[in-house]
Structure 1
Amino acid sequence: MFAVIGAIATSFYAIDQATLYYLFKGEAQKQFDTAKNIIVSHHPLEEEPAHETTGAQKSSAPLSFGLRGSSSDPTPEIISPSWKLPAAKARAVKQALVEEFEEFELLVVNVPGRPLAVHPRDMTTDRVNEILSDPSAYDAWHSALKSGQLEIYSNFHWLEWQIPEFGVIIPYVNEENKARGGFIFSTKPAINTVVFMDAIAFGSAFAFLLVLVVAIASIMFAWKGLHDRWKTSKTIRFLAHNDPLTHLPNRAVFSDELNKALRKASITASNVYVIAIDVDKFKEVNDNHGHAAGDTFLQIISDRLRLVFSEHLVSRLSGDEFAVMIEGEYTSHDITVLAQRALATTNSNCVIDSKEIQISLSMGIAQATDAAWRSSRLLHCADLALYRSKNGGRSTYTWYESSMDEELERRRELEAEMIRALKLDGFSVVYQAQVGLADNKLKAFEALLRWVHPEKGRISPEVFIPIAEDTGLIEALGEYVLKKACADAASWSDPTLKVAVNFSPAQFKTGQIEQKISEALQESGLAPERLEIEITESLLIADTTSVVKSLKKIGDMGVSIAMDDFGTGYSSLSYLSRFPFNKIKIDRSFIMNIGKDAHTDAIVAAIIGLGRSLDVLITAEGVEDEMQAQILRAGGCDIVQGYYFGKPNNVDPANPHANIRCTLGLNDTKQIEATQSA
């Protein structure tokens, strides 16, 4: 506070001082110009006779102003001081100045510093010495003699509050523009009281305005700084509690509010529900349309969730995971209705950058049934129900059941057993034959992974493969099958037999799969033409562009590529047009009804016709009897695979045809009946 007052007072003082200085200086400048004109017009100084020079210099010794300056800073422009002031001219100059100025002081000084005349007549020697010894006058004297121009000096000091007094040095210059001496002139400014007070008033007003402007600017600057800090602090607080993309409350807020709701429910016996929501196939949206479109996609979903759950807490927990907390007197039926409404909002697709994108949500619902429930437990149960929804076909909701905990425990146990089996070589690979219908010859084997647990016995691939895909173990399992199949095939005595290996979308990583296939072929010595990889439509849907690029690289190696489970997806034909597959495998779901359903027969016939048109081999999976084989042979199917021709089993390297319903060799027509043993 005192600093501000001091700054304001200093500002007023400085501006008033400046006002006085420039006011009096301006008036003095006018008077000095007049005095100069009067003095110059009379040409007062004349050259002395040569014999007077020495005496003049000697007489000037007590007044050493000019001599001091000449000795310390000699200059060729200042000539010998042989000049004098005639009495007549002195009186004429004095008379002219008296007529113009009421009161003034005048010293006529030659170059060495000798006073030739003074006014008023009664000016004392002390006063003369005071004028000549004034530092400001001293500096002005030498500047004037050097420049030949009028030089003003003053006794003004910023720290002294007084009326400033001014003097002037008027150099006398001859026709050759050489300084011959000078006049030190001073007078009182002709400023009356009114002008003086006006000047002070003007200075004060200006000082007030300046201080006011500075104060306002300071206040605005301080306000802007505080405002920016407030905005920054507000933004930090917002980001600490909200998701920056959707502006929904984040996980921390959701957990905190859920804890509060559970404490309240333990007292009031009210209900608390949590709905865990996951966006189905969100990675595909990011990969196919870009991350900017993915962000917009999440914003659209969050807006729709806000509309459905407008009275409840909706939060974004992480990337594509949302959660809703509902508390109060709501029944299970009410929650189910809300979940159905949320699913209904996905019926209309969203349009981003002129592209229509389908929305699919999977939800899991859990209810706190007693006061012992914790927020982490409730969220965990909702996640278990969500997992069931995603495995059950997606775009649906599932209520939590206690059996889900047991299922999760079994999954964790199986995951641990799978890791142990990988380390201890507990998995095995068996092969199922693929036979050509035209010549009944063995064409290839499909490699199938099997797991026989030492305690639990045979575990179905339908059980452990999904767990491997979810946990990331599928990569290690897939690499194991690939290397094992290549090594086994290289040992078979028939070098014409191919081996087919399935690839899961979870293990098909662009840039890695090509390298792994190449390494497996090099390590085993198997010719690339004898290897065939089978992929499903879901792999292509995941990231069509990059997957097709990788498939082309694999095809360039000489490896064959087959589309497995053809006909079960909604866009299989579109992928056939984008990538030239070597083989199409008809899904077993069609083969099991062949000969029994006319629609199925028509679909199978159409697929076989499509293969002929595209010059692609057609393989039928799941052939179980002779009738199915005859229908397929009559329809023009190329290759069949199923229990009728041979069950999955180990292959004898020396006799790969053993236990296969096929023809041996080129000339041997003996047919070997497939045994029914595993």
Structure 2
Amino acid sequence: MGRMDNEPELPKVELLNDRLNLTLAFSKRYKMSTAVCYLRLHFPPELSQTNDEEIEIALANNILARLKRSIRNIDTVIKINRTDFAFLIVDITEHDCKLICERIISSISDTYTIDFRHFSISSNIGICMFPYGAEGPEELQLIAKAQMYVAEARGENQFSLYIGELDQTASRKVLIENDFPYALKKGQLHVQFQPQYNLEKKAIDGAEALIRWNHPSLGEVSPAEFISYAEEAGMSNQLFFWVFEEVCRHIASEKTRIMKYSINLSVNQLLLDSFLQDVTEILNLYSVSAKQLTLEITENIEIYSVKTVNDKLNVLKEAGFTIALDDFGNGYFSFSDFIKLPIDYIKLDRDFVFSLWKNKKHKGVVLPIINMAHNLGLQVIIEGIEDQTQFVEWDQLGCDIIQGYFISKPISFEAMMASIAGIEERAGDVRNQG
């Protein structure tokens, strides 16, 4: 969803901190309990793509009205971002706090009808109470947020009250979410490369660029853990262009025999008005050709106009970029839409490949896909290949490019360049044995 500039004003986060400090001082003096609750709304994917400001404002007004009716006049509700709210409930027992949270979830988790369109919204709430759970304002807020993740793990429309033992998985999520907005400016992000082995050329001729986060206390954090936070924080476009520039910088740093470097691209970024201009400026800055880059479309596209996506992709192809469709096999769109896309590669979804391999159905299912792709003039990339047996079987199935830990795990650019000859020799030996 876009910005909701006309939605009702709520107190800012600073007010929550001030109110919490005052309430805690009062509660300590008069020995009262206080609850901090963290609420997260869950919107359906199609809602974020409406680009209809009137629908967004109407939905926001509806939800906020229900929220205000669900709490007492003496309580405080704070909007943190598009999906998250915090509640400060004063002079409350544990039992009554649970009743209020149940009332909130029942009130706002509903199907909303706006302009004859239906949007189903769910929610989760985490609760931490003073003085039973924590005494400091920051700790209360962090624990409440962690408990929200515990509630999410239980399912939709659940709440969770902290009872003295913090869930480690939830704590990790809170730490990642709170620290990620500062990761880029503190220089904690870096790009690794996973080589791609071309079976026809018997050589490494491609590599996928993958962003990584070296967290100061957690160590290496995978994109699966932080990309969703980047999207919520409005940083996904910034991250894409940072990765794009890092790849171009590496390409320009030394002569490389690798033909294609793949970069993940969401449709949201593709549809930016200035996208082609922005990437062209970076290419020119480093004297890199678009022909050296493959853009992997990584997002559900069925909720977009196929014509709009096609037009944008055609412009990129005319500029020299290679286009790959990532996560093929997840059933996001119809075959009739698929054949309209101006793409050069399909990349079979890693989980799809693994499930087929596990159930010994990969030959019967994948072979027709590979043949179909070849008949359409497309090449097929198989990712997630982890051992020699898988490598040999997928080679025999006729796919074009192999990617996975058997070829190489994601590594630094320098390590990849130094290991290419060894990877090719090992792959050649396995094929000769097979």
Give the TM-score normalised by the residue count of structure 2. 0.70
Question: CA, structure 1 residues 487+391, in 2 after alignment: closer, same or farther (shift >3 Å)?
Answer: farther
Give the drift of 1:561: 1.9
C-alpha contact 1:492 1:653 (8 A) present in aligned 2: no
Question: CA, structure 1 residues 662+371, in 2 after alignment: closer, same or farther (shift >3 Å)?
Answer: closer
SS of match in other structure, 2:423: coil
1:126-183 deviations in whole A, cap 9, x for unaligned? xxxxxxxxxxxxxxxxxxxxxxxxxxxxxxxxxxxxxxxxxxxxxxxxxxxxxxxxxx
Give the drift of 1:537: 1.3
Give the drift of 1:421: 3.5
Instruction: Work out which of the residue numbers 413, 423, 434 in structure 2 matches 1:660.
Output: 423
Q: Which amino acid aligns with 1:617?
A: Q
Instruction: Work out which of the residue numbers 220, 231, 241 in structure 2 matches 1:459.
Output: 220
Is 1:642 equivalent to 2:404 in the alignment? yes
Q: Which amino acid aligns with 1:491?
A: K
Distance 1:456 1:509 in 2: 36
1:101-147 deviations in whole A, cap 9, x for unaligned? xxxxxxxxxxxxxxxxxxxxxxxxxxxxxxxxxxxxxxxxxxxxxxx
Map of 2:243 onto structure 1: 478
Map of 1:529 onto structure 2: 291
Question: CA, structure 1 residues 392+561, in 2 after alignment: closer, same or farther (shift >3 Å)?
Answer: farther
C-alpha contact 2:71 2:100 (8 A) present in aligned 1: yes
Stretch of structure 1 that moved more, 317-326 or 406-415: 406-415
Distance 1:630 1:590 in 2: 18
Map of 1:430 onto structure 2: 193
Distance 1:431 1:533 in 2: 15
Instruction: Work out which of the residue numbers 8, 26, 38 in structure 2 matches 1:276.
Output: 38
Map of 2:382 onto structure 1: 620
Give the drift of 1:630: 4.0
Map of 1:359 onto structure 2: 121
Instruction: Work out which of the residue numbers 419, 423, 427 in structure 1 matches 2:185.
Output: 419
C-alpha contact 1:272 1:328 (8 A) present in aligned 2: yes
Q: Which amino acid aligns with 2:332?
A: S
Distance 2:38 2:420 in 1: 53
Distance 2:293 2:15 in 1: 54
C-alpha contact 2:126 2:148 (8 A) present in aligned 1: yes
Give the drift of 1:584: 2.1
Question: CA, structure 1 residues 508+365, in 2 after alignment: closer, same or farther (shift >3 Å)?
Answer: farther
Alignment of 1:113-128 (within 5 A): none
Q: Which amino acid aligns with 2:279?
A: I
C-alpha contact 1:362 1:394 (8 A) present in aligned 2: yes
Question: CA, structure 1 residues 394+518, in 2 after alignment: closer, same or farther (shift >3 Å)?
Answer: farther
C-alpha contact 1:435 1:662 (8 A) present in aligned 2: no
Instruction: Work out which of the residue numbers 78, 87, 94 in structure 2 matches 1:331.
Output: 94
Give the drift of 1:621: 0.5
Instruction: Work out which of the residue numbers 42, 49, 57 in structure 2 matches 1:295.
Output: 57
SS of match in other structure, 2:196: strand
- Structure with more contact order per residue of length (Cα contacts < 8 Å, sep ≥ 6): 2
Map of 2:263 onto structure 1: 501
Distance 2:415 2:72 in 1: 67
Distance 1:539 1:390 in 2: 26
Map of 1:513 onto structure 2: 275
Give the drift of 1:356: 2.3
C-alpha contact 1:585 1:621 (8 A) present in aligned 2: yes
C-alpha contact 2:392 2:430 (8 A) present in aligned 1: no
Q: Which amino acid aligns with 2:252?
A: A
Q: Which amino acid aligns with 2:315?
A: K
Question: CA, structure 1 residues 301+554, in 2 after alignment: closer, same or farther (shift >3 Å)?
Answer: same
Distance 2:22 2:132 in 1: 15
Question: CA, structure 1 residues 560+411, in 2 after alignment: closer, same or farther (shift >3 Å)?
Answer: same
Map of 2:357 onto structure 1: 595
Question: CA, structure 1 residues 420+535, in 2 after alignment: closer, same or farther (shift >3 Å)?
Answer: same
1:248-285 deviations in whole A, cap 9, x for unaligned? 97459977876776566445544322323233459973
Q: Which amino acid aligns with 2:256?
A: W
Q: Which amino acid aligns with 1:276?
A: Y
SS of match in other structure, 2:185: helix
C-alpha contact 1:474 1:506 (8 A) present in aligned 2: no
Map of 1:350 onto structure 2: 112
Question: CA, structure 1 residues 482+657, in 2 after alignment: closer, same or farther (shift >3 Å)?
Answer: closer
Question: CA, structure 1 residues 610+325, in 2 after alignment: closer, same or farther (shift >3 Å)?
Answer: farther
Stretch of structure 1 that moved more, 268-277 or 403-412: 403-412
Stretches of structure 1 that go unaligned for 5 or more consecutive residues are 1-242, 664-669
SS of match in other structure, 2:50: helix
Question: CA, structure 1 residues 351+521, in 2 after alignment: closer, same or farther (shift >3 Å)?
Answer: same
SS of match in other structure, 1:558: coil
Distance 1:339 1:542 in 2: 36
C-alpha contact 2:75 2:87 (8 A) present in aligned 1: yes
Question: CA, structure 1 residues 556+280, in 2 after alignment: closer, same or farther (shift >3 Å)?
Answer: farther
Is 1:322 equivalent to 2:111 in the alignment? no
Percent identical among aligned pairs is: 21
Question: CA, structure 1 residues 599+548, in 2 after alignment: closer, same or farther (shift >3 Å)?
Answer: same
Alignment of 1:25-36 (within 5 A): none
C-alpha contact 1:533 1:559 (8 A) present in aligned 2: yes
Question: CA, structure 1 residues 342+620, in 2 after alignment: closer, same or farther (shift >3 Å)?
Answer: farther
Q: Which amino acid aligns with 1:484?
A: R
Map of 1:492 onto structure 2: 256
C-alpha contact 2:348 2:380 (8 A) present in aligned 1: yes
Distance 2:92 2:366 in 1: 55
Distance 1:310 1:484 in 2: 56
Map of 2:345 onto structure 1: 583
Alignment of 1:41-52 (within 5 A): none
Question: CA, structure 1 residues 616+596, in 2 after alignment: closer, same or farther (shift >3 Å)?
Answer: same
Question: CA, structure 1 residues 432+288, in 2 after alignment: closer, same or farther (shift >3 Å)?
Answer: same
Q: Which amino acid aligns with 1:644?
A: F
The alignment covers a number of residue pairs equal to 415
**RMSD value over aligned CA atoms?**
5.1
